[in-house]
Amino acid sequence: MKYIFVTGGVMSGLGKGITAASIGRILKNRGYTVTAVKIDPYLNIDAGTMNPGQHGEVFVLSDGGEVDLDLGNYERFLDIDLSSLHNITTGKIYRSVIEKERRGDYLGETVQIIPHITDEIKCCIRAAACEEIPGAGKADICLVEVGGTVGDIESMPFLEAVRQMRGELPVEDTVLIHVTLIPEDSMGDLKTKPTQHSVKALRELGLYADIIVGRGHRPIGSNTKRKISAFCDLPQQGVISAATVPDIYQVPTEMEKEGAAEVLSRHLHLESRGVDSDWYSLVAKEYTSRIEVGIVSKYGIEDVYMSIKEALKHAGRACSTEVKISWLDAERYEDRHLGEFDGILIPGGFGKRGMEGKIEAIRYARTEKIPLLGLCLGFQMSVVEYARHVLGWENATSAELGEGRHVIAILPEQQGVTDLGGTMRLGNYPITIRENTLAMQIYGQPVIVERHRHRYEVNPLYIPELEKAGLVFSGSWKNRMEICEVPDHPFFLATQFHPEFRSRPTRPSPPFIGFVKACSAVKSGEVNS
């Protein structure tokens, strides 16, 4: 096993995750099996209860793990399925060490950061690295991204663990990549001083960067690379420019041009292999048409819905259709704005705020025959909207929203659980698709598997009346409804699950492909709106 450690300096949010994922893609294109680990230094056990407005999207893994959005980037770039083992947090590490201490595993030792915490970190990294990848086996190379920036108090134990691992393994089995900001001054000159200070802080911890990735709005020239090389004591070839690009999937292409693969191969003693160019051909594909989709959001931050943005991009590329996204505040938009879009998407979320706006957008899409895709909460609100405006149940609502006729509710088997996450349905579940439905047309198979993250379900008491009124529940799992659709509509599909979590550039999500095709067909007049 070879390890690529990725650290960051100067500021957070530089794109360490995209950098690491891109490096993984470059190596995968050369035939290596790559896995990934994301270290988050926060004290939370996982990302499940964190505010998405502050932390970004909570990505859900196949085993139900609620993790940092960078795990989503790893899965999309590397086209693999990861598990909860691949997200390491301070909370997980300390909980494990304290549980061992309480059991007496340390035989009366004084439990300390070094060696007990650092040993646990190393153990967790190795366990994740050695876990077999479904359909691919054991990895050749493990990416390890250390969250935060060098100098953060929270990151110190993890950086120390990295230092120890580098000392314990052969030199050719590890490489350290440090991602830093290369800002511009008012004269447009690129400044290297922040990188120098960041590398100095890294060295004070006993860590030496083999490769420096310089992030900025424009490429780094040879003079700037030479300066970084001289002050940071590494070959000029080890300074990689990572300028901002229009599409994150172009980053591996740009890093190939910078010679990143050759530098990595030299450090890790990797054999020379041919390059599979399918990925590069895919991301270079040109669009032949364009649609505009309105997403009725309640959070106002695009990173909350990163997987939805990417899934639309994947489907658009597969259909040669550029998808332009407009974000609509669920509390402030006006109905007349909805008519400007080729399609409407209602994403997931929690809480009461913005719900009436989502319901109104669903009503507009249904009655005006605008293609609609509802996800999770969007599915639940589609059922509420249908009950209110087709069945005439004005008090129809969700138990999450308050009093009324709860067409969406906590099922009896979920009640009595006090743990906030205990009532959640998380991860992969099988779904049975009904024949002669839009869902069957989209998926083309009777049983599918998709990922979930929700608490409330369609109330079984009201399903017969909803179906009698015309709403079709075309997918289900046991007594839980998974997909609903409206007949005689260009495209009205809502899913209780999150299909965006399984979408990949090479394997776009079927509901998203169906949605993009329907939007294009309506726009071009192939289907009457």
Q: Which residues are catalytic, by number?
A: 376, 498, 500
Q: Which residues, in sequence order, are bridge partners of residue 293?
A: 325, 343
How far is Cα 83 from Cα 81, in angstroms, rounded to an integer?
Answer: 7
How far is Cα 243 from Cα 104, in angstroms, rounded to an integer?
Answer: 51
Contact 72, 306 (CB under 8 A): yes
Length of the chain: 529
SS3 373: strand
Closest CA to 452 of 480, 428, 476, 483: 428
How far is Cα 392 from Cα 186, in angstroms, rounded to an integer?
Answer: 62
Contact 452, 88 (CB under 8 A): no
Peptide bond into 115 cis (omega under 30): yes
* CA-CA-CA-CA dihedral for 125, 128, 131, 136, to nearest 10: -110
How far is Cα 166 from Cα 173, in angstroms, rounded to an integer?
Answer: 8
SS3 508: coil
Task: Write out the E strands in 82-167.
Answer: 87-89, 141-146
